[in-house]
């Protein structure tokens, strides 16, 4: 399928989805056709495709309504927002105690996305913007999440990774990463010790939901020379306290 044709099909599919979402009652393919200006056969084909992915559902043999997949997407976005609000006090406290930029990240495929941060007030600091995407295999938050995933999912994600060396300390292959993740799993926290950036040290710990599933990681991005001068055990304890606080707030019980 040519790119132009694919783009047109995608736009029509979104038009159909928006049409069904805007209706207070289930719609037939004919009604969707009339409201969108798309031919009935095309509208029906698109409804069937959307049904297969769960974005629309049949009310009867010929009527369609919104499906559960769109609700799941909405819930995921709401959950992210709620998590950032819940984590905010912990991020502020962690920033104050460590003097470094605190961050909250979630896994997105083989990468991590920063969804919240409290920036250090120091003149020299690590920039860590909300929305920034970094590789999971060489970042503290990424490794903190990977280490506590179910083994099957963890291994599947690792199989898709390209181990590009960011520094001399970056994991070079799956075996090296897995060994590091095993250590993180046993100690409960992760350290990016110059693995992503030579001038950066990060420490992170996982956040668990009420089902004991890892859903995010909290930690900080620090300037290496300051972190190395500080009490690393005290910093680790602060990170673990922040992670435990957020986990408890979202229903996790050990």
**The 3-state secondary structure of the chain, one letter per residue:** CCHHHHHHHHHHHHHHHHHHHHCCCCECHHHHHHHHCCCHHHHHHHHHHHHHCCCEEECCCCCEEECHHHHHHHHHHHHHHHHHHHHHHHHHHHHHHHCCEEEEEEEECCEEEEEEEECCCCCCCCCCCCCCEEEHHHCHHHHHHHHCCCHHHHHHHHHCCCCCCCCCCCCCCHHHHHHHHHHHHHHCCEEEECCCCCCEEEEEEEEECCCCCEEEEEEEEEEHHHHHHCCHHHHHHHHHHHHHHHHHHCCCCC
pLDDT of residue 136: 94
pLDDT in tens, 113-169: 888 989 876 655 556 667 788 899 999 999 999 999 999 999 999 999 989 998 999
Residues 247-251: what's their mean pLDDT? 91
Tokens describing residue 243: 């992670």
Q: What is the pTM of this model?
A: 0.69
Structural domains of the chain, with CATH: 3-66 (1.10.10.10), 74-249 (3.30.450.40)
Could you tell me the pLDDT band of residue 81, with boundaries at 50, 70 and 90? low
* Rg value, the chain, Cα: 23
């Amino acid at each position: 399928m040519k790119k132009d044709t694919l783009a047109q099909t995608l736009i029509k599919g979104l038009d159909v989805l928006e049409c069904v979402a805007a209706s207070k009652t289930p719609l037939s393919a004919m009604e969707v056709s009339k409201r969108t200006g798309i031919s009935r056969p095309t509208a029906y084909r698109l409804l069937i495709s959307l049904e297969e992915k769960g974005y629309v559902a049949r009310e009867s043999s010929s009527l369609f309504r919104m499906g559960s997949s769109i609700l799941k997407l909405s819930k995921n976005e709401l959950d992210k927002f709620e998590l950032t609000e819940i984590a905010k006090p912990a991020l502020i406290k962690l920033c104050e105690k460590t003097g470094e930029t605190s961050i909250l990240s979630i896994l997105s495929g083989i990468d991590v996305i920063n969804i919240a941060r409290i920036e250090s007030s120091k003149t020299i600091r690590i920039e860590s913007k909300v929305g920034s995407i970094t590789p999971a295999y060489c970042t503290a938050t990424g490794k903190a999440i990977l280490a506590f995933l179910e083994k099957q999912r963890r291994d599947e994600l690792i199989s898709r990774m390209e181990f590009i060396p960011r520094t001399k300390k970056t994991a070079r292959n799956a075996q090296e990463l897995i060994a590091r993740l095993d250590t993180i799993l046993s100690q409960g926290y992760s350290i990016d010790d110059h693995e992503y950036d030579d001038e950066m040290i990060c420490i992170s710990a996982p956040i668990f939901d009420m089902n004991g599933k890892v859903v995010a990681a909290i930690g900080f991005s620090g300037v290496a020379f300051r972190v190395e001068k500080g009490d690393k055990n005290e910093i680790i304890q602060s990170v673990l306290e922040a992670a435990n606080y957020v986990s408890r707030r979202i229903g996790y019980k050990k």
